[in-house]
Structure 1
Amino acid sequence: MSADHDQHPLFMPLVFVGGLIFGFGLGFSHMAQPEIVLNFLQFEDFGLLFVMGGAAVVTGITFFGIKLVRSTAPFTGTPYARRLKTLDRNVVLGGGIFGVGWGLSGICPGAAYASLGVGNVAILYGIAGMFLGAYVQGYWRSARAEGDAPASTAD
C-alpha cells in the first residue's frame, strides 16, 4: 500500500463502508454469534459453509473481473498482483493454532468484532486474547530474529 499522503481522500471512508457492509452481512447471516459458529464446527449447522462460500464466489469474481477493467487499485494506484505464499511449516502450524483458537472461542477475528455489534460483550475476552496472542507472537518472532542475526564486533 502507498504512504498515507499518496492515498486518495476517499480511501479510508471506503474502507469504513466496506467494514459496515461486512459487519452487517455477518450480523444478518447470524455468523456473529459464537453458538452458530460452534454448531458449524460440530457439523450440526452448515449455514456458515454457505455464507463463506457465497463470500468466496463474490470475492473471486470481483478479483478476477477487476483486472479486466483496470490494472491498478483506484484509490492507492498500486498495481494488482498476486502474493503467493508457500505452504511451509509456519503456515501449517499457524493455521492449526488459529483453528484451535477459533474452536475454543467459537468465532473468527472478523466476526468477533461484529459480534460486539449484536450485543455479545463477553467476546471482549476473546478479542483481548487475540491482541495478546498477536503481541506475544510478534515479540517471539523478533526475539528469534535477533538471536539468529550474526553477532557484530565493535572496533
Structure 2
Amino acid sequence: MITRVVALISGLLFGLGMMVSGMVDPVRVIGFLDFAGQWDPSLAFVMGGAIAVFMPVYLLVVRKMEKPVCETDFRLSQKKSIDAPLVGGSILFGIGWGMAGICPGPAVTSLSGGNFGLLLFVASMLAGIWLGCQLQSKLESDDQLKVSHAQMN
C-alpha cells in the first residue's frame, strides 16, 4: 500500500511540476524545438534544473543505498549498448514530439483539461506502446525459435 501512495504522490508532484514549468503547453514546447526560428530557451532551464536536482540524488541512490525504501531491490536496466530499437524508438519519439509539441508525460497530465486532441494523442500513444510490445514479443519468440532450431542441428 505504501508503494502505491508514494507512486501517487510522486506522479502528482511530477504533473504539477510540468504544469507550473509550462511543459504541458505545446506552443512553448514547439518554440523550444524551433532552433531556426523564434527559439524559446525557457524549457532548457526547466530541464537543467530537473537534472541538477535529480543527478546528485540518483548518484546517492546508486552508490549508497542497498535497496529502495518501498521495494526489495532496484530495477535498473542492465542494458549498456546502443542498438537499433533504441535508436529507432528515439527517432520516432523525437519526430512525434516535434510534430505534436507534447510528449507522453505532459499529455497525460493535460488530460484533465478535457481536450479531445490530447485524448486522441494519448489513445494513439497507448495503442503504439501495445503494438510495440506485441512486435518485440514476436521478435523475441522468433529469436528463441531460431536458437532452439540451431541447437537441434
- On whether the aligned pair clears a TM of 0.5, the verdict is yes
CA distance in 2, matches of 1:60, 1:80: 17
Contact 1:67 1:80 in 2 (8 A): no
TM-score (norm 2): 0.82
Q: Is the deviation greater in 70-79 or in 101-110?
A: 70-79
CA distance in 2, matches of 1:50, 1:95: 22
SS of aligned partner of 2:46: helix
Number of residue pairs aligned between Structure 1 and Structure 2: 144
Q: Which residue of 2 aligns with 1:145?
A: 140
Q: How does 1:52-91 map to 2 (within 5 A)?
A: 52-67=47-62, 70-79=65-74, 83-91=78-86
Residue 119 (structure 1) shift:
5.2
Q: Which has the higher helix share?
A: 2
CA distance in 2, matches of 1:122, 1:56: 30
Q: How does 1:1-155 map to 2 (within 5 A)?
A: 9-43=1-35, 44-67=39-62, 70-79=65-74, 83-118=78-113, 120-148=115-143, 149-150=145-146
TM-score (norm 1): 0.81
Higher-RCO chain (CA-CA 8 Å, sequence separation at least 6): 1
1:6-35 deviation digits (Å, cap 9, x = unpaired): xxx311101100011101111011111111
Distance 1:34 1:81, change over 3 A: closer
Distance 1:93 1:76, change over 3 A: same
CA distance in 2, matches of 1:81, 1:49: 26
Residue 127 (structure 1) shift:
0.6
SS of aligned partner of 2:72: coil
Runs of 5+ unmatched residues, structure 1: 1-8
Once superposed, which parts of structure 1, at least 4 consecutive aligned residues long, lie more than 6 Å away? none
Runs of 5+ unmatched residues, structure 2: none
- Over aligned residues, Cα RMSD in angstroms? 2.2
